[in-house]
A and B are shown apart, each in its own frame.
Chain A
Amino acid sequence: MSDALLRVQDLHTQFQTSRGLVRAVDGVTLEVRSGEIVGVVGESGCGKTMTALSILRLLPDPGRIVSGKIMFRDVDVTAMSQEEVQDFRGRDVAMIFQDPMTSLNPVTRVGNQIEEAMTAHNKFDVNAARVRVIDLLDRVSVPESKKRVRNYPHQFSGGMRQRAMIAMGIANEPALIIADEPTTALDVTVQAQIIELLKQLNREMGTAIMLITHNMALVASLCQRVVVMYAGRVVEEGPVEQIFTSPQHPYTWSLLRSVPRVDRERRDRLISIEGLPPDLARLPPGCKFHPRCPFAVQRCREEEPPLADVAPDQMARCWVLMRNVADDSEPMVRLRANAPGQGATGD
C-alpha cells in the first residue's frame, strides 16, 4: 500500500461574517495516497471546496484556518511561510477550477498562461519553455497546438479551455491535482472526454487526483475511494464499490437514491432529499443531518456521532446504520451497539 501523500487532520476553517461564525470546515480528516483517485462529494455548501482551498491556503477573506494540520508528505502546509506556500502551489499540488471561462485571464494568451505556471517554479530558456507548452497542449489533446498557443481564451471552446487548465495543472508534474467540479460547466459529451483525460493522466503520470463533485456518476466512473461530506464534516468514506453497493450513512444512501437510473423501474417522481442544507452559521445540535434524515432517532438529536469503522476500510458518522440496500427496497436499519452508555437496541 502506498504512503499517504496528503493527510488532512482535523481541519477547522472558519469565516467570521456579519451573520455570525461560519464553520465551513468543521473537523475534516481525510487522506489521499500516492497515485490514488479520491472523490469528495456532497451538496453545495458542504465544505468540500473550502477544504480544497484550505489545502492550498487560497481561502478568500475573511476565511481562516483555525486549527488542524495539512500534512503533505512530511510537511505541514498550515505552518508554511508565504514563500514556501508559493513554491508548494502549482509544483506539489495543483488545482483546477470549475468554470474555465472565468478561470482564465481573458486578455493574456493561453500559451503564456501555461508558460507562467512552469516558469514560476523552474528556470527555462525561452525556446525550451515554448516547446514544452506546445507539448503540454498535445498531452491534453488540444488540436493544432502550435497555433492554439497564441490564442486567447475566448477563442477556445469550453472543453478546450478546461484542457488548457489541466495543462496548466500538470505543467510541473505535481504529485496531486485537486479538481473542483471540473466538468460541471461543460456539455455532457465533453464531460466524458475530460474524465477520460484525467484517467489517462493518472495512469501515465501517476498523479493522484482529488475530484470534488456533487455528481455521483462521475465518482463511479473515475474514483477509487470516496469521501462524503455534509455540513463541513466527513460523514462517510470508503472504497467506491463498497460505498455504492452498501452505503452506511443515510445521507450517502439518499444521494445514491436520487440519481435516476435507466436500469431500474421508472417512477413517477424523482427522489430528492427533503429539506435544505443547513446554515453553517447556525448548525443544529447532535447529528447535523438529523433534521433531514428519514431514520433519525432521539439520540441523533442530542449527540453527534463520531466517525467510526462500520466495515473493513469503511467509516461512517451515524448512530443508525443501514443494511439491505441492494435494491430499492427500504433498508433495514440497526442502531449502533458499540457506543458507550447505550445498550444494544435490536433491529
Chain B
Amino acid sequence: MIPVIFFVVLITFVLMHLAPGSPWDKGGGRQLSQSVVRNLNIKYGLDKPVWQQFLLYVWNAAHFDFGLSYQYEGKTVASLILGGWPYTFTIGALAFCLVVPIGIGLGVLAALRQNTRIDYLTMTFATFGASFPNFVVGMLMIIVFGVVAYNVSGGNVSLPVTGFGLDDHLIMPVITLALLPTAYIARLTRASTLDTLRQEYVRTAWAKGLSERLVVLRHILRNSLIPVATALGPTFALLITGSVIVETVFAIPGIGRSFVTAVESRDYPMILGTTILFSVVIALANLVVDILYVFIDPRVRLD
C-alpha cells in the first residue's frame, strides 16, 4: 500500500512542478509585483530546489499538513478537505448501501432466471446504467424530477435540484452516484453466478436432496460472491470518481467539488492534497478487500 501512495504523490508532485507558469499568474487580474511574488514564493517555500520541496512536502503530508490553498487566501488544504468531508462521506456511504444489495440482488436474480424476461430486464438496466455517464444521468434526473415535475404539477411536486440537506435533497445525488457501480456489480455477479451454476458441486448438492434455498445460499452464493467481494475495491474507486461529478452537478459542497474548482483554478496544493486523499482511501479499501478475501476463500489460506 505504501509504495502505491508514495508513487502517486511523487508523480503528482512532479506534474505540479512541470506546470507552466507560476501560481501567481492569475490570468485577467492585475499582475503582482516582483517583490510580492518573491515574498509569496518564500512564504510558500517555492524558492527551494525541487527535491527539497518534495521531501518537505512528504514530511508535512505525513503530519496531515498539506499546505495552504492557492485559491482561498489563508485557508489550509487540510481544513478545506475536512470541511467537505461530511458531505462526500454521507452521499458515498448511502450510495454504497444501495450498490451492494441491489447490485448483488439483481445479478443473482438474473443468473438464476437466465434467459427469462427478468434476466433481460435487469441486464438491460445494467447496460444502460453503465453506458450513460453519471453527469448525463444526473442531468436527466434533474430534468425529469426537477423541471418537468415542477411544471406538470404547478410547482408542487419536485425534488430539490441543488444543495445538500439530510432530506430529499439526497435522493437524486445518491441514486445518480449509485447507478454505475450498481450496474457493474450486477453484471459481475450475474457472470459469476452463471459460472458457479455450471459447477459439478451444485449438482452434488441437488443430488443430496437439499432444498432450493439451501442449494442457493450454501453452495451457489457462497462461491459466486467471492469474485464480487474482490470487486468492491474498484467499486470504491468508482464511487470516488463518481462523487467528483455528482457533487458538481448537484452543487454539493463536498471534496469532489472542491477538487474540480481546484483543477479549474490551478490550486496545486489543493489538487495534490485531494489526490493523495483519494489514493489513500482507495488503497485502504483495496487493502481491506484483500484481507477480507482471506477469510472468504479458504483455498488461499496458508496452512
Give the residue of A56, A97, A106 whose beta carbon is less than 8 angstroms from that of B223: A106
CA distance A251 to B209 in the complex (A): 36
A103 CB contacts on chain B under 8 angstroms: 200-201, 203-204
- Whether A102 sits at the interface, judged by CB under 8 Å, is yes
Residues B280-303 near A (CB distance < 8 A): 296-299, 303
Given the contacts A58-B207, A90-B209, A120-B208, A106 and B200 also touching, CB distance less than 8 Å: no
Once the chains bind, are A97 and B203 in contact (CB under 8 Å)? Answer: yes
Interchain CB contact under 8 A, B207 and A102: no
Cα A72 to Cα B56 in complex, Å, equals 82
Measured between beta carbons, the chain B residues less than 8 angstroms from A155 are 303
**Chain B residues, Cβ within 8 Å of A117:** 208-209
Task: Choose, from B17-25, B130-138, B141-149, B211-219, the stretch at the interface.
Answer: B211-219
Which residues of chain A from 86 to 130 have a CB within 8 Å of any chain B CB? Answer: 86-91, 94-95, 97, 99, 102-108, 116-117, 120-121
Q: What A residues does B298 contact at CB under 8 A?
A: 106-107, 152, 154
Return chain B residues, CB-CB under 8 Å to A121.
Answer: 209
Question: B209 and A102: CB pair below 8 A?
Answer: no
**What's the nearest-Cβ distance from chain A to residue B146, in Å?**
46
A165 shortest CB reach to chain B, Å: 8
Q: Which residues on B sit within 8 Å (CB–CB) of A240? A: none
* Residues on the B chain within 8 Å of A120, using CB: 208-211, 214
Q: Judging by beta carbons under 8 Å apart, are B208 and A116 in contact?
A: yes
A36 to B199, CA, bound (A): 31
- Residues in chain A near residue B223, CB distance under 8 A: 105-107
Interface flags, B191-208, vs A, CB<8A=1, else 0:
000000001110111111
Contact B206–A104 (Cβ < 8 Å): no
For B218, give its contact among A95, A104, A116 (CB under 8 Å). A116
A58 engages B299 (CB within 8 Å) = no
A256 interfacial contact with B, CB 8 Å: no
Complex contact A106–B299 (CB within 8 A): yes
A residues near B205, Cβ cutoff 8 Å: 105, 116
Give the complex CA separation of A209 and B246 in angstroms: 65
Tell me if A160 is interfacial: C-beta within 8 Å of chain B: no
* CB closest residue in chain A, given B211: A86
User: CB-CB contacts of A55-97 with B at 8 A, as 1s and 0s?
Assistant: 0101000000000000000000000000000111111001101
B206 touches A97 (CB 8 A): no
Please give me the residue from chain A that is nearest to B296 by CB atom: A107
Per-position 1/0 for B220-255, Cβ under 8 A of A: 001100100000000000000000000000000000
CB contacts between A and B, total, < 8 Å: 77
Could you say which residues of chain A place their CB within 8 Å of the CB of B208?
89-90, 94, 116-117, 120, 168
How many chain A residues touch B (CB < 8 A): the figure is 28
Query: Quick check: B200 and A97 within 8 Å, CB to CB?
Result: yes
B207 contacts A90, C-beta separation under 8 Å? yes
List CB contacts (< 8 Å) of A8-42 with chain B: none
B203 to chain A: which residues have CB within 8 Å? Answer: 58, 97, 103
Interface size on B, residues (CB 8 A): 23
Kindly list chain A residues whose C-beta atoms are within 8 Å of the C-beta of B200: 97, 99, 102-103
Chain B residue at smallest Cβ distance from A89: B209
User: Is the pair B218, A108 in contact by a Cβ cutoff of 8 Å?
Assistant: yes
CA distance A107 to B201 in the complex (A): 11
Query: In the complex, what residue of chain A is closest to B114 when comparing beta carbons?
Result: A61
Check B209 against A87 for contact (C-beta < 8 Å).
yes
Q: Which residues of A contact B211 (CB under 8 A)?
A: 86, 120
From known contacts A116-B218, A152-B299, A154-B299, infer whether A104 and B207 are also in contact, taking CB-CB under 8 Å.
no
With a cutoff of 8 Å between Cβ atoms, the chain A residues found around residue B222 in the complex are 105, 107-108
* Docked-complex contact B207 and A56, CB < 8 angstroms: yes
In the bound complex, what is the Cα–Cα distance between A102 and B205 (angstroms)? Answer: 12
- Chain B nearest CB from A111 CB (Å) reads 13
Contact B209 A104 (CB under 8 A): no
- Please tell me if the beta carbons of A58 and B201 are within 8 angstroms of each other in the complex: no
A107 contacts B297, C-beta separation under 8 Å:
yes
Contact partner of B201 (CB less than 8 A), chosen from A89, A95, A106, is A106
Binary interface profile of A, 154-186, with partner B (CB < 8 Å = 1, else 0)? 110000000001001000000000000000000
Which residue of chain B has its CB nearest to the CB of A101?
B200
User: Which of A88, A106, A155 is most buried by chain B, counting CB atoms within 10 A of its CB?
Assistant: A106
Q: How far is the CA of A116 from the CA of B208 in the complex (A)?
A: 8
When the two chains form their complex, are residues B214 and A116 in contact, meaning their CB atoms are under 8 A apart? yes
Interface centre among B206, B209, B218, B223 (most CB of A within 10 A): B209
Q: How far is the CA of A102 from the CA of B201 in the complex (A)?
A: 6
Query: Given contacts A105-B219, A105-B223, is CB(A86)–CB(B210) below 8 Å?
Result: yes
**Bound-complex Cα distance A107 to B225 (A):** 11
Q: A89 touching B207 by the CB < 8 A rule?
A: yes
19 A–B contact pairs at CB < 8 A? A56-B207, A58-B206, A87-B209, A89-B209, A94-B208, A102-B199, A103-B200, A103-B204, A105-B222, A107-B223, A107-B226, A116-B210, A117-B209, A120-B208, A120-B211, A120-B214, A154-B298, A168-B204, A168-B208
10 extra A-B contacts, CB within 8 A, seeds A58-B203, A116-B218, A117-B208: A58-B206, A87-B209, A88-B209, A94-B208, A99-B200, A103-B200, A105-B205, A105-B222, A105-B223, A117-B209
- Interface residues of B, Cβ cutoff 8 Å to A: 199-201, 203-211, 214, 218-219, 222-223, 226, 296-299, 303
A residues whose Cβ falls under 8 Å from a Cβ of B: 56, 58, 86-91, 94-95, 97, 99, 102-108, 116-117, 120-121, 152, 154-155, 165, 168
- For the complex of A and B, list the 10 residue pairs with the smallest distance between their C-beta atoms, beginning with the closest: A90-B209, A89-B209, A102-B200, A90-B208, A105-B201, A117-B208, A103-B200, A95-B207, A103-B204, A152-B298
